[in-house]
Structure 1
């Protein structure tokens, strides 16, 4: 009897793992720098096409990310070409670039209240500074993303008007950003809401690649991500074990789990063997920092249904 494998999800999208930035923001225990470097290399070796590996936020405000420049300095240029760094000011880009970074995610919030809580200034001030950030990134041969947090809801202001997000994306001061990242920062969006905003951005900004960054606070992380892909997003974010959240957004919890996205999307590089490697790496990381594993795929992979090739065991490891 011939086994027919389920087809991969289409349209296709690249999965970016953000464990080492967004995933670590709320952890009470810090991860050693060398372990972070090892995680970068392990994920790249397993086939992960891109990662977010740190933040230029103040170390006293986000201690788990205080060693970001040390992580950057430990990686090769080839490795850094697949690694993104969170920045919020031109000075952030300058410092990260001096350490060797070449991929920058310039973040601001659609809502003024969250931008002030997260970055310490209103949204327009962040937009006004972006041309300098873009120039510095391009001067070192790098690329930069426009990352719009609270694109769907804000913990202080409620539902975000989509016109606000579209206006930021269309602002000439953001010209030069290679991608637009739309963030469901506190995980309150629903699939139709995600599809509508991503579709509108695709029509309004056809020259830019769209990225969706979702959280699973209300259990719709994977559903929202699939809706974003169907609407035109070509990169989506996840964190190992569903780790993460925003320290400046009350009510935010973990990201959509990388394992869950990979199991759903089945990119060309994912097999039962590589998924096993990712699940086991995730379990080691979470044990190191004392955090719970929220991934449903990780739970399923440890089930007793061993006839299923994606369950960890001999059947999964042979593939």
Structure 2
């Protein structure tokens, strides 16, 4: 089997970024079923919810209940989106230990998404870090709109680097570079991730991409080559930011895995993930955007109706 080097871990964000634009609240048991199915399949990390207000982002309303039902062992592989120290405190009390502290590089998007300026979010970060450390947890510096903002346009790399180097982010385990709108191209991703790796404190680099313009997988591979060691994806390409006009689905987890081929990802694993993905998207009334899933279902591709299907020589065909 071909091996993609360098390697990166997948973090599946279906239960947070994937669900938040659908407007539909899945009950706790259904969320747990999805989370445990993915963990059992071998997905290294999950984003299981957000501390955003339920009246503003209804699909996240039962996040604390989901956290409370997961075991400590399961929670070691799960991340929760937070935007304030109080968010960290509440999630930690429920049992969470991995926190993604997120705000935008652009003030306009941060005001729309979180209700405060970027500076205000940065100013509160030391308290968020302290709370996470007090429970033995880890916290990420997550920079949304790292490439473009729906209100301000292009975001200068220097803006992102200034945040990455801000002393108030000291103590963060990772830095997440987000192509929130999916408007970046591989050269931009490679350039910014390379600069973050070379010009900011040493920590794990995570890339979060969207597939709005069809470059989700290409951008993810560019990020990995440039130094990212964790990348985000969502089942079937589900997702998008409700406060970012023009943003569509996340890069498909299945597509990222098919492109990178981690050791644990086999044709049988893909088949199991496709089953989870198809059932969930059908339940939500959402389209299947994953090209890998479409390809895996194409055993009769190229044959006329009623003809004998092609021999399934390609092991990834389901």
TM-score by length of 2: 0.96
Counterpart selection for 2:56 from 54, 61, 73: 61
Contact 2:23/2:57, CA 8 A, preserved across alignment: no
Specify whether residues 169 and 21 from structure 1 end up closer, same or farther in structure 2 by C-alpha distance, changes over 3 A only.
same
1:78 counterpart residue number:
73
Which runs of 5 or more structure 2 residues have no equivalent in the other structure? 300-309
1:225 aligns with 2:231: no
2:19 counterpart residue number:
24
For 1:29 and 1:81, how far apart are their aligned partners in 2?
27
2:209 counterpart residue number:
214
For 2:270 and 2:194, how far apart are their aligned partners in 1?
31
Contact 2:46/2:77, CA 8 A, preserved across alignment: yes
1:250 counterpart residue number:
245
Deviation at 1:222, TM superposition (A): 0.2
Question: Aligned with 2:81: secondary structure?
Answer: strand
For 1:193-228, what per-residue CA distance to the aligned partner results, in whole angstroms no more than 9, with x for missing partners? 000000000001251110000000000000000000
2:153 counterpart residue number:
158
For 1:132 and 1:30, how far apart are their aligned partners in 2?
31
1:315 counterpart residue number:
none
Runs ≥4 residues deviating over 6 A: none
1:104 aligns with 2:99: yes
C-alpha RMSD over aligned residues: 0.7
1:309 aligns with 2:309: no
For 1:136-189, what per-residue CA distance to the aligned partner results, in whole angstroms no more than 9, with x for missing partners? 000000000000000000000000000000000100000001000000000000
For 1:110 and 1:208, how far apart are their aligned partners in 2?
19
2:167 counterpart residue number:
172
Contact 1:179/1:211, CA 8 A, preserved across alignment: yes
What is the total number of aligned residue pairs between the two structures? 307
For 1:18-76, what per-residue CA distance to the aligned partner results, in whole angstroms no more than 9, with x for missing partners? 00000001103321210101111110100000000000000000001100001000100
1:93 counterpart residue number:
88
Any residues of structure 2 matched to 1:179-198 within 5 Å, and which? Answer: 179-198=174-193
For 1:295 and 1:31, how far apart are their aligned partners in 2?
21
Deviation at 1:287, TM superposition (A): 1.2
For 1:241-263, what per-residue CA distance to the aligned partner results, in whole angstroms no more than 9, with x for missing partners? 00000000000000000000000
TM-score by length of 1: 0.95
Which runs of 5 or more structure 1 residues have no equivalent in the other structure? 313-319
1:271 counterpart residue number:
266
Question: Aligned with 1:293: secondary structure?
Answer: coil
Deviation at 1:130, TM superposition (A): 0.2
For 2:278 and 2:78, how far apart are their aligned partners in 1?
22
For 2:49 and 2:142, how far apart are their aligned partners in 1?
15
Deviation at 1:111, TM superposition (A): 0.1
For 2:79 and 2:254, how far apart are their aligned partners in 1?
20
Question: Aligned with 2:176: secondary structure?
Answer: strand
1:285 counterpart residue number:
280
Deviation at 1:93, TM superposition (A): 0.1
Question: Aligned with 2:11: secondary structure?
Answer: strand
